[in-house]
Amino acid sequence: MKKIYFGLVIIVIALMLTACNEEDDKKVKNEERVIPVETEKIKEGDIVIEKSIYGRTEPKGAMPVMVQNPGEVDQVEVKTGDKVEKNDPIATIQSPAGKQTIRAPKDGKITQLNVSEGELASTEDPLAIIADSDSLKLTFTVTDDDRDLLEVEDEFDVSIDNKNYKAKITSADAMPNDTGLYPIKATVKNKENKLLPGMIAKLQVPETRIKKALIVPTQAVEEEGNESFIYVVKDNKAVRTVVSIKESQSDQTAIEGDFKVGDTVIVKGQLSLTDGSKVKVVKGE
């Protein structure tokens, strides 16, 4: 009899627990899930893209070192790449007029040395070439569209040998050359003397693609099929809003759609959202 009684008690308890669990499940289902998200404001601005224009470095100014009287080179005081100051000795020459010391006519760097000891130096060919070392000239040729982006005295970032410098435009021809391109010249400082003539220079020129556009972070834009959309927060809910993309960059995108400047757009957490999902802003403007 006791066994039967205990059996009935266990069955009653099991039924009660089942009923409680079902009730809890109903409460969970009835409670709407709140998804944490991060947001930013839709802003108005310009989409600016940097265009790369390639050219080469050249000596800003070069001067030949000449001899007045031909003769045999007795001693060479410099080598290619040496930096010299005005009146520094370059070489000594034994000529019919006696021993001569050939000196640097200006400050700069020896970019070309044409003689060695024991050779003959003539009055027709330069003994050496001295180029400015504190700055270099940059030469580019650009299309007419790119020519409109460049003005004399403008300064731009330039990359040479994987290092960044500032370049100032010194001339921008108004007429094209024989190839139909416009010659552009610029200068770059070479204080550390690490730049050499003939290096490739990459000029970074900002180009405004779109003005006064509505801009959102690119990470806010989602795609599904052929449709692009964002989630705009309204009354603590995520509203799926279709957009038309005007221009896209890695960090920001210009869009058109049913929204305005100052609306709050979701930038993180949108992968868990559907239209109308309840959200809680945990970070953002």
Mean pLDDT, to the nearest integer, of 192-198?
81
Asked if 60 contacts 138 with a C-beta cutoff of 8 angstroms, the reply is: no
At 284, is the pLDDT very low, low, confident or very high (cuts 50, 70, 90)? low
Looking at every residue in the chain, the average pLDDT score rounds to: 87
Domains of the chain, first to last: 34-47+211-284 (2.40.420.20), 50-59+134-209 (2.40.30.170), 64-128 (2.40.50.100)
Of the pLDDT bands very low, low, confident and very high (cuts 50, 70, 90), residue 29 is very low
| pLDDT at residue 27 is higher than 60 | no
Question: What SS3 string covers 26-87?
Answer: HHHHHCCCEEEEEEEECEEEEEEEEEEEEEEEEECCEEEECCCCCEEEEEECCCCCCEECCC
Note the pLDDT of residue 151.
Answer: 93
> Quick one: pLDDT band at residue 26, thresholds 50, 70, 90?
very low
Which pTM value belongs to this model? 0.57
pLDDT at 230 over 80: yes
Residue 124 has pLDDT above 50, yes or no: yes
Euclidean distance between CA atoms 172 and 151, whole angstroms: 7
**Tens digit of each residue's pLDDT (9 = 90 or more) over 66-98:** 998 899 999 999 998 888 999 999 999 998 888
Summarize the confidence of residues 210-222 as an average pLDDT. 93
